[in-house]
Amino acid sequence: MGASDLAAFAALFAEESRAAMLLALLDGRAWTAGELARHARVAPSTATEHLGKLVAGGVLAEERQGRHRYVRLAGPGIAHLVEELAGLAGPGPDRPPRSLGAATAERALARGRTCYDHLAGRLGVAVTGALTARGLLDQEAGFALTGPGLEWFAELGVPLAAKGRRPLARGCLDWTERRPHLAGLAGAALCAHALDAGWCVRIGTGRAVKVTPAGERALHRALGIEPDALR
């Protein structure tokens, strides 16, 4: 890749409507062009043009079912890049929320959310911190599960089968907490387990999740996380 290729790829992220669509797609779902147009508050034709550029640039993957066209992030590497960019960009200047509903949604996302297929927000950072404090995750070695960490996942009944070149564990800079949360295969497996076991439930149709009372007890038992840190 040359300088011109890098500049062209970076330009795909450097437009506010496209950035809004990419942040929405961090929920890991496939969205239609119409849904993304409404989310980004642009005309359907404008959304289609933006999505065409993102698909052509390898940022999004396209799926078709009958007459319907869906797009999703091209993979965990792209999701990681979007979250990292959001974290590096910082919170930006203080802006009052557009409405009470918007303020509530922002607080919910900051408290707990999915970042593609792993846990983020205060929830994700708290879990990552607890794993590290208990010697199950070594952040000094570039985010690596330790031997006891692998045993902990096995005892929890969470499979960590290798898939392609995706790392077992990696750090992902959390854009609200400004600290890393656990991504990679281990992060994805733990998120799936938390949702399947009822530790967490999704709020509405977006990325926000909340910890259930059963989840508070389970996370305290498994990692010593105090319930107040999850609220």
What backbone torsions phi and psi does residue 73 show, to the nearest 5 degrees?
A: -60, 145
Q: Do residues 109 and 169 share a domain?
A: yes
Residue 189 has pLDDT above 70, yes or no: yes
Give 42-90 pLDDT, tens digit per residue.
999 999 999 999 999 999 999 887 777 899 999 888 988 888 888 777 6
Tell me, yes or no, whether 84 lies in a domain: no
Q: What is the CATH number of the domain that holds 51?
A: 1.10.10.10
Tell me, yes or no, whether 88 lies in a domain: no
Q: Do residues 169 and 127 share a domain?
A: yes
Is the Cβ–Cβ distance between 187 and 158 less than 8 Å?
A: no
Region of residue 66 (phi > 0: left; psi between -120 and 50: alpha; otherwise: beta): left
Is the Cβ–Cβ distance between 33 and 44 less than 8 Å?
A: yes
Structural domains in the chain (count): 2
At which residue do the structure tokens 């909340």 appear? 210
Interatomic CA distance for residues 80 and 75, integer angstroms:
9
Give 89-109 pLDDT, tens digit per residue.
765 545 555 555 656 778 888
Give 99-153 pLDDT, tens digit per residue.
556 567 788 888 999 988 899 999 999 999 999 999 999 998 788 999 999 999 9
Domain that holds residue 141: 97-230
Between CA 82 and CA 188, with CA 54 as vertex, the angle to 5 degrees is 40
Is the Cβ–Cβ distance between 191 and 183 less than 8 Å?
A: no
Q: Do residues 129 and 56 share a domain?
A: no
What backbone torsions phi and psi does residue 75 show, to the nearest 5 degrees?
A: 170, 180
